[in-house]
Structure 1
Amino acid sequence: MKAMKIPVSKFQFPTPPNGDTIDEAEDRLKLLKALDSNGEVTPLGKAMAYYPINPRQSKMLLTVIEILNMKQSYSRANLVLAYAVAAAAALSVSNPFDSPFEDSHIKN
């Protein structure tokens, strides 16, 4: 929301979170360097906002990309990036082994 310049404290949530939850989220974003000490969005935070995933996973992907850009001659760069994407995808779901299609073959 901060990346879209929406004031979180004034936003009309359908079910508003308590103030401590918002403060904890801001502290977490500061630890990830997505926000500066004043609570403003950093360039890294803007890049993280483009990913429709948890901030931790977006930071992980951007860190891998940054490292691979520094090591331009790394021969397995695509493999490393593929593993990072797979890890981010696995971490974005509560249980990677649950599938909504799991029992669909039984019903047919």
Structure 2
Amino acid sequence: MLISKDQFLKFKSKITLESVLKMGIMLIVIFILFVASFALFRPISIEKYQHVSQLSLQATYPHTQSFAQHLQAQPQILMHEYLRLMRAYAYEAKHVKEYPAMAIEDE
């Protein structure tokens, strides 16, 4: 199945600079998505694991604490799970109201 010269010239005439640039941009975007997905599915570092351990021991934010304890039960924590924990921690820190301590006489 040899490609004849006429078929090659017809194919070459359909290719424009614009289509080549579009294909280049698409390849760059696909490469970025591939690298990002690879980075999200690798295990976390020791420092981040220690941070998860600290969050599992704190009692200020109970939902974050239970999520961190759940992550610690797993054999390895992936980066996207760690980022979900950090997002939950930030959300809970922003939305939880902390009231001042009451005196015993006020009860």
More RCO (CA 8 Å, sep 6+): 2
Q: Compare CA radii of gyration and give the structure with the larger one.
A: 2
Normalized per residue, the structure richer in helix is 2
